[in-house]
Amino acid sequence: MFKKVLCVSLLLVGLIIMGCQNSKTTNSTTILETSTLGTTTTTEHTNTTTTLPVPKEVVIEDIVLVTDDPKQFERVEFALYGDSITIKREGNPFNYEYLNITGTFISPSGKTIILPAFWTRDYEISLDTNYKGTPSGLSGVPSTNPNEIQGRQVITWKGEEHYRLRFLPEESGTWRLIVTVMKNGVIVQANQKIFEVNENAINFKGFIQIEPKHKHNFVFQNGELFIPLGQNTAWYTSSTRRTYDYDVWFSKMHENGANAARIWLATWGFSLHWGSNYDEFRLDRAAELDRVLDLAQEYDIFILLTLINHGQFSANVNAEWSKNPWNVINGGILSKPNQFFYNKKAKDTYKSQLLYIIGRYGYSSNIIAWELWNEVDWTDDFNTLDVRTWHREMTEFIKNNDPYNHLVSTSFKGETHSIYTLNLLDFTNPHSYGYASQNINATLPNRIKDIWESYQKPVFYSEIGINWENGAKTTQADPTGISIHQQNWAGMMSGAVGGAMNWWWDSWVHPNDLYYRFKGASVFAKELNLLGDSYELLSDLDISISNNKVDILGYKVDNRIYGYLYDIDWKHDRPSIGARSNVTVTLPLASGSYTLRIFDTVTGEVIQTESLNVTNQVVLTIPAFQFDYAFIIE
């Protein structure tokens, strides 16, 4: 059914374009208006006249461009107004099998973008700073710091519910929008609107993709490298300021160069479909996620968006099954959690929910990927075959309906799983809290290498930790965030897409102000150019180090070397160690003249620069260093 509306939309596009090409040329002035379909209607544009088919039923009465100044590379929105009372009386407006309304956007160059409309309502979100109540924690520790914004979040609803379209135009000029309405599987209406998009001088990098040659990294559409360094900020933890938590967290992350966050659609947070009915959405949570994505764009944070948390479908681990609206005892259609993976009605309903997510949030280039599940193998009666089949089907569905081609992944309770062998899953997403007694610099790189060699796709280590229980115990074990420092450098310098991502953002990082631990790695990351004809890990090369307490991570890309030396005795439970003196490192490098830069790993500052003349190999003599040492030779 979903493919049918896509095909019909494309057919209508073809007919309209042919109509424009075959229309008799006139001397009419350009008219930017909506084609209101009654008997026979026409739209004049660029000296042509196009006739659209007569509607079988008028569902959408008006198409309104709500973006005041449509600009290239910025979100543009249309409100699609109809009789909301009738629409809701005749069916569920969140169910795309009842009403599947699509917008086909035709660019000035002829490129076509097709997006599903979504049911919503206008709103404003504000913070009542006069509210002086004490917040409770929502699955976390709320901040009561008086030096931060505090108050109570308020959502004010405006107007009637209606359908809406969002898209991101990548071209300026005259665009054509065709709105197609399919009701109960039958096309009943097609409307057209012509509109202008103005030029925009911003440096738009595009959506995030996989680097195609070596398949270790993420790149933007413009080819620029993207190295994620950040942390989980999975949900707001303050019961009062709610999404304003992210104003604080994201601003602190941005100040220190962190550029990535992982957010769950958790039932106590952003989950869109948790409530009295399994096939409806919570518009307040959808609006909250709108706001957080706007903040992500403002603070240059890129989001790994996790669509389902495992507890929803478990009666044993973080159990929420007893409250799940999919559960038959709550009026749902599933008697057991694992039926979600093979029940046809459940799969069709979830596809409707995916269309809503794509329609509402798919415009955002700040979304790195759709992560289908958090740790799906914690769900009850987990069956690999059923879950693999489900992942294939849902990933295919997303890739067929997301015109911006966001990446897709999922996650498990460990570092590996056979489901990662699905070619449709774009990268692996390991989790591990087994670093309580480990030097992350010495241990994580080997795991990353093994995982990459197993699946031959990028490794995005989205959960890592030294304690899985809580932030208080993590603080006790690592009060200064040494493990955060090491997760960033070890991940970034050993073949993963970027740094590994910590948990306990609310109860460890924020109250101890450990954001500075992202600074040095983020500055160094901006200097990394890992795009080249050759790509080699330094750990795979014939490198000699004079001190067996020192090891090296990094890359040799063409004739550039990016190196990170570290003391193998330094870790979170051994924070104070002495300096290493007169360490000599010998690395293979083509003969020539180079520049060596040495970086402070905490601040990212360049602390030394010198010229090198190299004959087949370079020998670095380091008089003294403590903890770690980063350098670039190019």
Do residues 156 and 122 lie in contact, with contact meaning Cβ atoms separated by under 8 Å? no
3-state DSSP call for residue 561? Answer: strand
Q: CA-CA distances (angstroms) from residue 269 to 278, 279, 306, 311? A: 16, 18, 12, 13
The phi, psi pair for 607, rounded to 5°, reads -105, -10
Task: State pTM to two decimals.
Answer: 0.93
- Smallest Cα–Cα separation from 256: which of 211, 305, 320, 300? 300
Q: Is residue 38 pLDDT above 50, yes or no?
A: no
- Smallest Cα–Cα separation from 91: which of 187, 184, 160, 3? 184
Q: Is residue 36 pLDDT above 50, yes or no?
A: no
Do residues 375 and 414 lie in contact, with contact meaning Cβ atoms separated by under 8 Å? no
Q: Is residue 153 pLDDT above 80, yes or no?
A: yes
Q: Is residue 8 pLDDT above 70, yes or no?
A: no
Q: Is the C-alpha dihedral spanning 30, 31, 32, 36 positive or negative?
A: negative
The phi, psi pair for 228, rounded to 5°, reads -75, 130
What mean pLDDT do residues 595-603 have?
Answer: 98
The residues facing 304 across adjacent strands are 262, 369
d(CA 196, CA 179): 17
Q: State pLDDT tens for residues 398-410.
A: 999 999 999 999 9
Q: Is residue 2 pLDDT above 80, yes or no?
A: no
43 pLDDT tier (thresholds 50, 70, 90): very low
Ordered alpha helix ranges (H), 536-620:
none
Helix, strand counts (H, E) of the chain: 10, 29
Helix or strand holding residue 296 (H, E)? helix 283-298
Domains of the chain (ranges; CATH) run 2-129+155-197 (no CATH), 241-428 (3.20.20.80), 536-633 (2.60.40.1180)
Q: Is residue 275 pLDDT above 70, yes or no?
A: yes
What mean pLDDT do residues 333-352 have?
Answer: 98
Q: Is residue 48 pLDDT above 60, yes or no?
A: no
Instruction: Tell me the two tokens of residue 48.
Output: 């042509």
3-state DSSP call for residue 253? Answer: helix
- Looking at residue 293, its amino acid is L
d(CA 204, CA 194): 24
Q: Which residues of 573-591 are buried (b: 16+ CB within 10 A; e: fewer)?
A: eeeeeeebeebebebebee
Average pLDDT, the chain: 92
21 pLDDT tier (thresholds 50, 70, 90): very low
Helix or strand holding residue 15 (H, E)? helix 2-22
- Smallest Cα–Cα separation from 564: which of 629, 618, 517? 629
Q: What is the DSSP letter of 310?
A: G
Instruction: Tell me the two tokens of residue 41.
Output: 């209607």
What mean pLDDT do residues 476-497 have?
Answer: 98
Helix or strand holding residue 295 (H, E)? helix 283-298
Q: State pLDDT tens for residues 415-452.
A: 999 999 999 999 999 999 999 988 999 999 999 999 99
What mean pLDDT do residues 332-342 have?
Answer: 98
Q: Is residue 351 pLDDT above 60, yes or no?
A: yes
Q: Tell me, what's the pLDDT at 386?
A: 98
Q: Tell me, what's the pLDDT at 46?
A: 38
Q: State pLDDT tens for residues 165-203.
A: 999 999 999 999 999 999 999 999 999 999 999 999 999
561 pLDDT tier (thresholds 50, 70, 90): very high
Ordered alpha helix ranges (H), 362-509:
384-401, 440-455, 471-477, 482-492
Share of the chain above pLDDT 70, in %: 92
Instruction: Tell me the two tokens of residue 339.
Output: 């039926």
Q: Is residue 109 pLDDT above 60, yes or no?
A: yes
Q: CA-CA distances (angstroms) from residue 534 to 436, 529, 619? A: 36, 12, 22
Helix or strand holding residue 244 (H, E)? helix 244-255
Q: Cα 411 to chain center, whole Å?
A: 14
Q: Tell me, what's the pLDDT at 623?
A: 87
What mean pLDDT do residues 206-234 have?
Answer: 98
Q: Is residue 30 pLDDT above 90, yes or no?
A: no
Q: CA-CA distances (angstroms) from residue 250 to 226, 291, 520, 578, 614? A: 18, 12, 18, 35, 44
- Smallest Cα–Cα separation from 607: which of 616, 598, 615? 598
